[in-house]
Amino acid sequence: MTSIAVVVGDGIGQEVIPVAQDVLSLLHPEYEFYPVEIGYGKWKKTGVACTPDDIVLLRDADAIIFGAVTTPPAADYRSVVLEIRKELDLYANLRPIKGDGVDIMIVRENTEGLYSGIEWQEDDRASTLRVITRKGSERIARAACRIARERGNHLTIGNKANVIKSDAFFRDICIKTAEEEGVPYTTAFIDALTLDVLMHPERYDVIVTTNIFGDILSDAAAYLVGGLGMLPSANIGDSHALFEPVHGSAPDIAGKGIANPVAAIRSAAMLLSHLGDIPGATLIEEAIRLTAEAGITTPDTGGKATTKEAGAAVIDALLRI
């Protein structure tokens, strides 16, 4: 029995994840879904955003579908999603940017770097330790090389080695790994690279980079394919996998029923690929394409549909294909 942990989380996560779950259960009625309550809403109710028992429930699943969690800007509140990525050692964050003339896979290191969580505050100074390890760099470089090879294409190593020593360390490990793996590569400074990805997306295939750079690059690259409502992601480790839209809980539109469910539905497609159902994932992408072609999209992408209407249209398309 395949079991899927469902974390709707906060804000629009509660609106888009049920749609993704409907799509999954349509294609796989045999899947067992179980909810895990995690997030800021839970923290407000109970004082804890994610308990050790919740982590056990996540570990027990064959895969996790995750909405988004709100992180309030309070000094003593740490992002739950960062904690989960660390606890389950989900070291590779895969963010495909796919659309007209664009097919890029951003491979973001997901457990260290500037999101190491090693930080402290003094009276007149706040510091965060940016930790880049050999093990962390090697395994993300290997994952990126494997993907580049599967796609029959090349690797771009995004970095800021000209200024940051820890990035020179990361870049050099990626270069060595690409050479060992026989994957063609180039290196690029992340600031110029971000602009070039927007201007010449056709030049890029797989881009590997450190945690925060991958986070920023993927949100910027969302511009190429219709915005944050379109981008899915996979967080993969050696033993666990979590699938979530790239976007957050979007408090500005939460509760209005207008969030774009496509990022969440695409995350469900990535979940299926991961569990070996590649035809199912392809079907979902095709259904999303047909729905967009029919003009049934939410306001962020120029349409008038609600989340539920857009979701129902994708399900309809799946039933028709």
The interface region with Mg ion, picked from 116-124, 184-192, 202-210, 213-221 by CB under 5 A, is 213-221
Please work out the total of residues on this chain that contact Mg ion, with binding judged by CB under 5 A. Answer: 1
**Segment interacting with ligand NAI, rule: CB under 6 A, options 155-163, 190-198, 243-251, 275-283:** 243-251
The alpha carbons of the chain give a radius of gyration, in whole angstroms, of 19
Give residues 10-49 in contact with ligand NAI (rule: CB under 6 A). 12, 16
Number of residues that bind ligand NAI (CB under 6 A): 21
| DSSP H or E run through 149 | helix 134-150
**Residue 242 Cα to chain centre, angstroms:** 9
Q: Interaction with ligand NAI in 82-141: which residues (CB under 6 A)?
A: none
| Binding to ligand NAI, residues 62-91 (CB under 6 A) | 68-71, 81
Residue 16 CB, shortest distance to Mg ion, in Å, is 16
Which one of Mg ion, ligand NAI, none interacts with residue 250, CB within 5 to 8 A by kind? Answer: ligand NAI
Name residue 240's amino acid: H
Closest to Mg ion by CB, 215 or 300:
215
CA dist 44 and 41 (Å) reads 5
Complex with ligand NAI: residue 159 or 233, whichever CB lies closer: 233
Q: Please, where are the H alpha helices in the chain?
A: 13-27, 40-46, 52-60, 80-87, 134-150, 165-181, 190-199, 211-221, 262-274, 278-293, 307-320
Residue 285 to residue 255: CA distance in whole angstroms:
26
Establish how many alpha carbons lie within 13 A of residue 259's alpha carbon, considering only the half-sphere containing its beta carbon: 30
Contact residues: Mg ion, CB under 5 A:
215
Active site residues: 115, 160, 191, 215, 219
